Chains A and B, each alone.
Chain A
Amino acid sequence: MDIKQYIESGILELYVYGLLSEAENIEVSQMAKKHREIENEIISIEKAIVNLSTSFSPFLSADNFEKIKAKLDFKYSKVIEIKPQNNWSQYVGWAAAVALLLGIGYQYTQLNNTQNQVLTAQKEKTNLQETVVGLKLKNKQTLTALTVIRDEKNAVINLSGQAVSPKSSAKIYWNKETEVVYVDAAGLPEPPKGMVYQIWSLKLLPQLTPTSIGLLSDFSANKEKIFAVEKTGDAEAFGITLEPAGGSKTPTMEQLYALGKV
């Protein structure tokens, strides 16, 4: 058969395209084995058509490659010839692996224990800090109370219980120079929910004139029961009434808990 004519017939292109019958395929591949020229021609045709089609490929995202690889079963991830090894080195390898594994296990337990200890210590520290802050606050309140009571410039006015609550009592510490007023409400019962004690400075003459100088808000939270209220310069008496939360414009006289003259 004339090799050149065979090549020129165009059968090799169809061979590369995959359009020949099974019998024709076998014939061409046998021809290619026999004749280097045909083999080379086939390779060139293939290069040309692979190049052409590759050039016309739309964008192919790398995701596709990863998705395909995820579905395949690779036996070797690298081309490494595996040579038989002698038993001795194999056992040493296994022994080392086991030792390493045990070591890692031990270290892991140790690490866990240590981490737990750190956590416990941190919790304790937080608790202590909370206690310290609470104590500091309490101390400050106590100091304030002491300072107020000890101040010699303060006039102390005893307020005695009235009809609605005869057992109640209170003290007013009033500094006439600075006009600062403190109320010691330790002798008053807890106000009912939604109610609040209101402090009044009273002028008795020419007629009884009450002026509100503040509310004892947060009554239960203030452990020392020493409250600072607004200043007053010209009080002749002080009174304490129980009023709805937020206070009232004029005292509710039926709810007068304590009263005392300067």
Chain B
Amino acid sequence: MTQEELIPLMLKKDERAFTIMYDMYSKSLFSVISNLLKETEDAEDTLQEVFVKIWKSIDGYSESKGRFYTWMLNIARNTAIDKLRSKGYNNSQKNLSADNFVHLVDDSNKLTNRIDTIGILEFVKKLKPKCIEIIELLFFQGYTQQEASDELAIPLGTVKTQNRNCINDLRTYLKV
């Protein structure tokens, strides 16, 4: 089922649509949330909060604002960042280059049993360290181009294109 088919059913508050939506996106959003909030309990609470928000504010989504996934991703990141602030997490912690989304795997052997997971993990190891950093900052942490440029000490104009090159490598691997 595509997002275009899913949204009308979600607007009707159809339970099956929710289940499909959850299956499609919960792990993706959970990795983003878990990357920001290191405590499993906080991450799970936040994930629950995020899906309740998505469901209750679905009427406020419109295609002109962007992709449905993007809309959900923003809710997830913002809710996690709010939680981060309310909990008084040490902000400097998340900027350490060694501490990025790749650690989510090292932390947990209980990783999802997707067949392609092992492959993608191997692939990410081969990905340029710069790519991991840039995807970490832009996608996982929601940094602006300017913030990422400052953090990585690269010209503002190249943030976008470098990120594109990294995603292209990923797409070549995934054949999408």
Give A residues with C-beta under 8 Å from B. Answer: 8-11, 13-20, 22, 25-26, 28-30, 42, 44-61, 64-65, 67-69, 71-79
- Would you list which residues of chain B between 2 and 39 have a CB under 8 Å from chain A? 9, 12-18, 22, 24-32, 34-35
Q: A52-B120, A58-B40, A59-B111 are in contact. Are A77 and B16 (CB under 8 A)?
A: yes
Q: A13-B160, A48-B167, A51-B120 are in contact. Are A64 and B15 (CB under 8 A)?
A: no
In the complex, B125 has a CB within 8 A of chain A: no
- Indicate if the CB atoms of A55 and B110 lie closer than 8 Å: no
In the complex, B64 has a CB within 8 A of chain A: yes
- Indicate if the CB atoms of A13 and B112 lie closer than 8 Å: no
Chain B residues with CB under 8 A of A69:
15, 18
Chain B residues with CB under 8 A of A9:
160-161, 164
What's the Cα separation between A78 and B107 when bound, in Å? 39
Q: With CB as the reference atom, state the residue of chain B lying closest to A50.
A: B28
Q: A10-B164, A19-B142, A47-B176 are in contact. Are A59 and B108 (CB under 8 A)?
A: yes
- Indicate if the CB atoms of A54 and B27 lie closer than 8 Å: yes
Q: A47-B174, A56-B101, A76-B14 are in contact. Are A13 and B65 (CB under 8 A)?
A: no
What's the Cα separation between A59 and B9 when bound, in Å? 28
CB 8 Å contact bits of B97-111 with A (1 = contact, 0 = none) = 000011011011011
With A48-B174, A53-B32 known, 4 other A-B pairs at CB within 8 A are A10-B161, A16-B67, A59-B111, A72-B52
What's the Cα separation between A25 and B162 when bound, in Å? 21
- Indicate if the CB atoms of B120 and A18 lie closer than 8 Å: no
Of B13, B108, B135, which contacts A58 at CB under 8 A? B108
Chain A residues with CB under 8 A of B105:
56
Q: With CB as the reference atom, state the residue of chain A lying closest to B165.
A: A10
Pick 30 A–B contacts, CB within 8 A, sort by A: A8-B161, A15-B70, A16-B67, A18-B73, A18-B74, A18-B142, A19-B142, A25-B66, A29-B64, A46-B69, A46-B70, A50-B28, A51-B120, A51-B176, A53-B31, A53-B32, A56-B102, A56-B105, A58-B40, A58-B43, A59-B110, A64-B48, A67-B48, A74-B13, A75-B12, A76-B12, A76-B16, A77-B15, A77-B16, A79-B14
CB 8 Å contact bits of B134-176 with A (1 = contact, 0 = none) = 0100111011110000000000000011111001001100101
Secondary structure dominating the interface of A: helix
- Indicate if the CB atoms of B22 and A58 lie closer than 8 Å: no
Q: A57-B28, A68-B22, A77-B16 are in contact. Are A17 and B104 (CB under 8 A)?
A: no
In the complex, B117 has a CB within 8 A of chain A: yes
In the complex, B114 has a CB within 8 A of chain A: yes
Q: A14-B138, A16-B70, A74-B14 are in contact. Are A56 and B163 (CB under 8 A)?
A: no
What's the Cα separation between A13 and B159 when bound, in Å? 11
- Indicate if the CB atoms of B13 and A76 lie closer than 8 Å: yes
* CB proximity of B41 to chain A, nearest CB, Å: 11
In the complex, B51 has a CB within 8 A of chain A: yes
Q: With CB as the reference atom, state the residue of chain B lying closest to A30.
A: B64
Which of B16, B30, B74 is packed against the most chain A CB atoms within 10 Å? Answer: B30
Of A13, A30, A55, A74, which contacts B120 at CB under 8 A? A55
Chain A residues with CB under 8 A of B139:
17, 49, 53
Chain A residues with CB under 8 A of B65:
22, 25-26, 29
Nearest 10 interchain pairs by C-beta: A10-B160, A59-B110, A10-B164, A57-B27, A74-B15, A75-B13, A57-B31, A53-B28, A18-B70, A18-B74
In the complex, B44 has a CB within 8 A of chain A: yes
What's the Cα separation between A209 and B19 when bound, in Å? 99
What's the Cα separation between A68 and B30 when bound, in Å? 14
Chain B residues with CB under 8 A of A73:
13
